[in-house]
Structure 1
């Protein structure tokens, strides 16, 4: 790690370093022969532009494979609106090379830079720009390394050779709202699928998404601070309104075209695509209500599909990284909610039990599956917030854990595996940042042999987080408590409380790590006892825990914040007469909900980018949890905030970026109008030009300072 600037305060450093991610290695791949590890990393904790690097697994030597400054001749990046939108969907705040794709040998890497196409030879250490139509996004190398397929902002899917010859269109849009080879908005935002074309293992054709967002309703996002600028048009599929029409085609390099056929009316969501040597291409498709999904096998000769497996759930079905997939010998690998557990299934066998909660599949080898998991049954958890890497044989035997620093249960932030080489990034509560280790599999009975540690250039935080982990209350709600540095109970007495949750689906905040808790520790150091609680609906505690919020955001998630607060007050110096709550996105919704519905518990709130009317949020997320608004209007009324506006009797600050195209500013404006109509005073802080990520350094820094000032004044000191 690099040292910080002497003049840095925490808010300034936290904002400038993008939460200490700048300079940290990321986006790892292992060459199929295990000879090298490929990754991205910027050259320092103060430079956001990522370079492409390799690490030689024989020697541990790191080498730069592509430097954006050299490739652009020292010029600035020029990002298209489409690329900016893709980065917003993926919450990408860095610059330079933000993604890459390897060929089948791991020798070549393709990437987009400033909308242009580059290919790096990772053995020779050279990088070359290829002639291509641009601006382009998402270049993908064929497994044989001969071709690169890429999508353009004009909606085309194009193909070029890696020798720079033969650039041509494989598919061109038939209308202004059609794109080929790109994931549609809802897939990027909610399905964790950011790609729209997949090569065949034989490099002779591709599976290509065709998306038509003509049916999607149009919204316009203006910049009120610059009224001379034309509003941006956004195709936004709000709950209850049409989604984009998504299809899939087989496109041959010889010009052939075959449409992939499935019941798109019953299963409109294309959630996953997998194509490997282990079997026919796999598609995971979902019904619109996400209560039914099918894994389809594709006949590449005809485009016909057949159902290989169907699942149903009364609440909803989750999507997971890495599945479905084939084992090399043709067994289907999937993650399923079975008998109250989230289990790994290989072929016909469920190979994990109720003591584990599967999170993802990392790799499938001929002998075993590597996965991440946390505790399934709360009573067996050693402590809250751990996620570990496990390995299990196809027969369900030989389960082992990959320990980090002698601890089998730590927080794994990412891991990849190929050819007996594993790269793991792990974090621990008492160590800043993450530790990235490269290891080699050894014979059975000996776990791994560390080859190298990938260096991090991230800055060392100017403060130290000191989370105290607990299971709170009868429901054993995972929680972390933070007290001011140097706090003495006899001297300082009870402390005003700041609840700091996300509290919703896919938003685990209580983790066995250090850096994710720095923000909470800084708030504590301003004189608060800070509580982070992951109530029902947050991931990691089993299907029943996550799905208990079905059709009831406003009930279970808020109740658990109250229960955790009261339970922790029995042990920690929490002044329950001075309790504030803050949050962003779902956490912002929860913060505003808290003061509107439970003013007896919460005495002030800061709500950042809150969803206030769930009819204004997108289809795949909202309908998963609350159903269709036409079928369950009463659920939307009960879970939205505007109907509770007349009940506000506590200080409330609402913060919103006016350029936010995820949670649009209309959410805050509608709540503010309802509060004004009810005669309820409140504070609104509009952020001109700011999106949902708030990446601007000055904005991010001052937001922290303004929140502290507001909460202190609201709680009386």
Structure 2
């Protein structure tokens, strides 16, 4: 039987299996550590080490050998951690190293393992299970880890295992990130070693104040429902405190104004200065960078930032540079409507020095060196050669100077990098080539050894189809968009039914200059559609004003931009605007349902996957950033939600009814299935026919090869039926 795209896409985990990832470079530049599975359909990642000088690679940890061939078993804590990080693979899915990158620690089946990165030998340390987030000390002599709510430490030899902090109640956990930190702040950690390896900075999380929700599995009524602490908008968050803990268990609380700044967004501890915290106000309009006195736990203000809309959080910052300056990413104000050319700038700062021009939209800091900063950026709003979906890697001197683009070439691409000791691992994806390509270079751009291949081998499968998306700026608003037409389409074939395929909301850029990102769109196109993906206002990678234009008006702005993109592109491409479908997942599912309910004059069918339908049921940190609180801003919630207590929201009852398929995983603990069920109830009460596809045992990731494959087939069947499309 020939391999179909849906089957291959599902089996290869969207073509990511077998591709190298999670790189770490030794500080002397001599070796690179990374994860990679054995082939393009093997879920289990192995830990690998590459010798930079020779290019030779060896396995440092093989999960199959370490577990003796026994299937991996995940604890509830590890399953929750992977759900927050959207990790759907197996084996060694994450690791941490000491400063010299001589050893690595990781968890398998809730057990603690360490690997010698020189000899390639890995061994288990006998400690209490289940182990979560093990981290070696900088000197490699100890490993700290979380288990059962406690934070513990053991020597690298496996001796003297002991608790540094134990939970005082069932609701307390030490050394881990709370739900909203991991889900919404991209802070997945809860403990940090001191540079001298003699103490830890540890979070104490008490979720007693958080409301309890129930997530049941109706397909297995004999199983007890799961009780989860879910901080819905306008309700209490977990209480997060921070402590300095010595290796003998002596602790000192880190004190800051937690009433004013309840969110611990970032923590950084390096040899560049004292522990550094970034804390946020509940409304996210004020944040403080605090320096910690390690003798007393007292904090002092290094910087306070304010924004009338909200303050964004960024990867890799705030952090100390070796010269003691504070490296951060800052927004410079523009017009709040996100209008092209007037929507502000996102720049890199070192102390009071601005390091980047307004024409670069800085996205994240990748590394802070002795003399420069490595960062990722897009061409900003108003840049002379701004290209949709282009993400490059740059470096700029700490003392100030012109940023230099590390990635070159005329073709748009998506790149990231890590470095150490003059060695750079650069990963680049382009539109013309399937999958990312990782190469090991000296920072001057040359191969480490003449004649040796610099590429890190990828075992990822070659897709059974190819794609050539058109990436454009659509209409006067210059909305980044991708247009994908059927393979072999000719102008004589005439206009095509349209499938809008957005995420369309915060933190979800879909229009990127990477081939594999558009493969699913190509498959849908080959079923007889013109597929359009539009990144309207609210999506990242463009400008601060573009992102913040959705403040207090999520629904209207994001929907308006989908309509505007469609209408503008219809003037240039063969789009049959009398047959327009829309599909999406999570925020994209919300946007799909919103489209057919509020603009049935434009959209004629929708597939709404795991949609947020009532923002009162979504979490605090995300929802309150855009909508305020239900107590203070009830009108915002009414306008942004699909349903109210009385039924459908913002819908003209006399408007045409459009077909809708609602898909939701019953085990989803991020967007709980209550969202879909309440929407279905409101549609039923309004007499509107619709389809509901419940996914038993499936979470927000909708993982599993069979589920992923058949979801594509069922969606295309629904869209063909609803729009009268062939192909």
Aligned with residue 656 of structure 1, among 664, 670, 676: 664
Q: Confirm or deny: 8 A CA contact 1:259 1:303 kept in the other structure.
A: yes
User: Which range is displaced more, 371-380 or 324-333?
Assistant: 371-380
Aligned with residue 378 of structure 2, among 361, 365, 374: 374
Q: Cα deviations across residues 490-509 of structure 1 (Å, max 9, x unaligned)?
A: 1x111000000000001000
- TM-score normalized with structure 2 length: 0.96
- Alignment partner, residue 107 of structure 1: 102
The CA deviation at 1:378 is: 4.1
Separation in structure 1 between the aligned mates of residue 383 and residue 554 of structure 2, nearest angstrom: 25
Q: Cα deviations across residues 476-529 of structure 1 (Å, max 9, x unaligned)?
A: 000010000011111x11100000000000100000110011111100000000
Q: Confirm or deny: 8 A CA contact 1:437 1:450 kept in the other structure.
A: no
Q: Cα deviations across residues 517-560 of structure 1 (Å, max 9, x unaligned)?
A: 11111000000000000000101111001100001111111111
2:80 maps to 1:85: yes
Separation in structure 2 between the aligned mates of residue 161 and residue 517 of structure 1, nearest angstrom: 47
Separation in structure 2 between the aligned mates of residue 380 and residue 174 of structure 1, nearest angstrom: 58
Q: Cα deviations across residues 235-277 of structure 1 (Å, max 9, x unaligned)?
A: 0000001000000000001221100000001101001000001
Aligned with residue 491 of structure 2, among 475, 478, 489: 489
- Alignment partner, residue 456 of structure 2: 454
- Alignment partner, residue 384 of structure 1: 388
- Alignment partner, residue 15 of structure 1: 10
Q: Tell me the SS of whatever aligns to 2:81.
A: helix
User: Map of 1:473-512 to 2, 5 A cutoff?
Assistant: 473-490=475-492, 492-512=493-513
The CA deviation at 1:354 is: 1.0
The CA deviation at 1:382 is: 3.5
Q: Confirm or deny: 8 A CA contact 2:485 2:529 kept in the other structure.
A: yes
User: Map of 1:254-653 to 2, 5 A cutoff?
Assistant: 254-339=248-333, 340-378=344-382, 380-404=384-408, 406-407=409-410, 409-412=412-415, 414-442=416-444, 447-449=445-447, 452-490=454-492, 492-642=493-643, 643-644=649-650, 646=653, 649-653=657-661
The CA deviation at 1:408 is: 7.5
Separation in structure 2 between the aligned mates of residue 123 and residue 20 of structure 1, nearest angstrom: 30
- Structure 1 408/421 Cα, relative in aligned 2: closer, same or farther at 3 Å? farther
Q: Cα deviations across residues 166-197 of structure 1 (Å, max 9, x unaligned)?
A: 00101000000100000111111001011100
Separation in structure 2 between the aligned mates of residue 57 and residue 714 of structure 1, nearest angstrom: 55
Separation in structure 2 between the aligned mates of residue 648 and residue 124 of structure 1, nearest angstrom: 68
Q: Confirm or deny: 8 A CA contact 2:165 2:249 kept in the other structure.
A: no
Q: Confirm or deny: 8 A CA contact 1:403 1:409 kept in the other structure.
A: no
- Structure 1 60/613 Cα, relative in aligned 2: closer, same or farther at 3 Å? same
Q: Confirm or deny: 8 A CA contact 2:53 2:448 kept in the other structure.
A: no
The CA deviation at 1:156 is: 0.5
Q: Confirm or deny: 8 A CA contact 1:179 1:210 kept in the other structure.
A: yes
- Alignment partner, residue 213 of structure 1: 207
Separation in structure 2 between the aligned mates of residue 193 and residue 458 of structure 1, nearest angstrom: 29
Q: Confirm or deny: 8 A CA contact 2:380 2:386 kept in the other structure.
A: no
Q: Cα deviations across residues 135-160 of structure 1 (Å, max 9, x unaligned)?
A: 110000001111000000x1000010
Q: Confirm or deny: 8 A CA contact 1:246 1:268 kept in the other structure.
A: yes
The CA deviation at 1:679 is: 1.1
Q: Tell me the SS of whatever aligns to 1:431.
A: coil
Q: Confirm or deny: 8 A CA contact 1:648 1:680 kept in the other structure.
A: no
Q: Tell me the SS of whatever aligns to 2:388.
A: coil
Q: Confirm or deny: 8 A CA contact 1:107 1:123 kept in the other structure.
A: yes
Aligned with residue 701 of structure 2, among 684, 693, 711: 693
In structure 1, runs of 5+ residues without a counterpart are 1-5
Q: Confirm or deny: 8 A CA contact 1:388 1:408 kept in the other structure.
A: no
Please provide the CA RMSD for this pair: 1.1
Number of residues of Structure 1 aligned to a counterpart in Structure 2: 704
Q: Confirm or deny: 8 A CA contact 2:371 2:399 kept in the other structure.
A: no
In structure 2, runs of 5+ residues without a counterpart are 334-343, 644-648
Q: Cα deviations across residues 569-595 of structure 1 (Å, max 9, x unaligned)?
A: 111000010111000000000000000
Separation in structure 2 between the aligned mates of residue 666 and residue 403 of structure 1, nearest angstrom: 45
The CA deviation at 1:215 is: 0.4
The CA deviation at 1:366 is: 1.1
The CA deviation at 1:58 is: 1.2
Q: Confirm or deny: 8 A CA contact 1:54 1:122 kept in the other structure.
A: yes
The CA deviation at 1:696 is: 1.5
The CA deviation at 1:403 is: 2.2
The CA deviation at 1:448 is: 4.5
User: Map of 1:146-295 to 2, 5 A cutoff?
Assistant: 146-152=141-147, 154-295=148-289
Separation in structure 1 between the aligned mates of residue 264 and residue 542 of structure 2, nearest angstrom: 27
The CA deviation at 1:316 is: 0.5
Separation in structure 2 between the aligned mates of residue 111 and residue 22 of structure 1, nearest angstrom: 19
Separation in structure 2 between the aligned mates of residue 181 and residue 419 of structure 1, nearest angstrom: 31
- Alignment partner, residue 3 of structure 1: none
Separation in structure 2 between the aligned mates of residue 271 and residue 408 of structure 1, nearest angstrom: 36
- Structure 1 608/378 Cα, relative in aligned 2: closer, same or farther at 3 Å? farther
Q: Cα deviations across residues 602-657 of structure 1 (Å, max 9, x unaligned)?
A: 01111000000000000000001111111000000000001146456111111111
Q: Confirm or deny: 8 A CA contact 2:584 2:608 kept in the other structure.
A: yes
- TM-score normalized with structure 1 length: 0.97
Q: Tell me the SS of whatever aligns to 2:436.
A: strand
Q: Confirm or deny: 8 A CA contact 2:389 2:412 kept in the other structure.
A: no
